[in-house]
Amino acid sequence: MFHDNTAVVTGAAGGIGTAVVRALVEQGVSVAAVDVASDGLAKLEGDQVTVHAVDVADSAAVEALVGDVEARVGPIGALVNAAGVLRTGRAHLLTDDDWATTFAVNSTGVFHLCRAVATRMIPRRGGAIVTVASNAAGIARMDMAAYAASKAAATSFTRCLGLELAEYGIRCNVVAPGSTHTPMLTGLWDDGDAVRVSVEGVPSAFRTGIPLGKVAQPSDVADAVLYVLSDRASHITMQTLTVDGGAALGA
């Protein structure tokens, strides 16, 4: 299913990132699991997984990471950009730090990883890159201006990168989850009932619910990521696969 047996996954300590790492391991892939939260990486380390405590917003650290993985683990055939942060609030009340931090991880971090990996994939004329964005990149959400804008930027960047790398046989796609049962979701609601609110929607915030009547599990998103990385998607590039149970109504 996978020609290349080394993958880099950022945001590996988070819900979706962890699910992607485990799914790749099941396919026999060696994974470099990357996250700024070093404590959360310990659960992943094993025979097929090396762990790397790296801030994707640090360009020099990312370049060193990719060089180290290529030297110690093997040529990188797949990259999954799953690192992400969420700062909520009305757009006019966001601080400079809210905006800068959100873009540093969600957008610039994608750029750093893609640049470092792509320069090594190009001479080998092959590879696959997936950016985990969000359905919020394509639909307005109240209190999520910075997050939505950063994910839209990452989505557009990944598509442009896919166009530029197509001549080298490198595919670049986006997987856009909606509400997914992760700490990022459960931390959004004070009453702790994030799943119910996500499924039912919030009319006062112009937010529809989820037509399928459930939030995604991290494994649902991981399955989509593995598909677009795999040979089964060998003729798919510059596309966005939305995994949101219909929440964006197909937008």
Active site members: 147
How far is it, in rounded angstroms, from Cα 225 to Cα 20? 7
How far is it, in rounded angstroms, from Cα 146 to Cα 143? 8
Q: Which residues contact 206 (CB under 8 A, 6 or more apart)?
A: 140, 142
Inter-residue contact 66 to 116 (CB < 8 Å): yes
Inter-residue contact 109 to 68 (CB < 8 Å): no
Inter-residue contact 101 to 52 (CB < 8 Å): no
How far is it, in rounded angstroms, from Cα 25 to Cα 171? 21
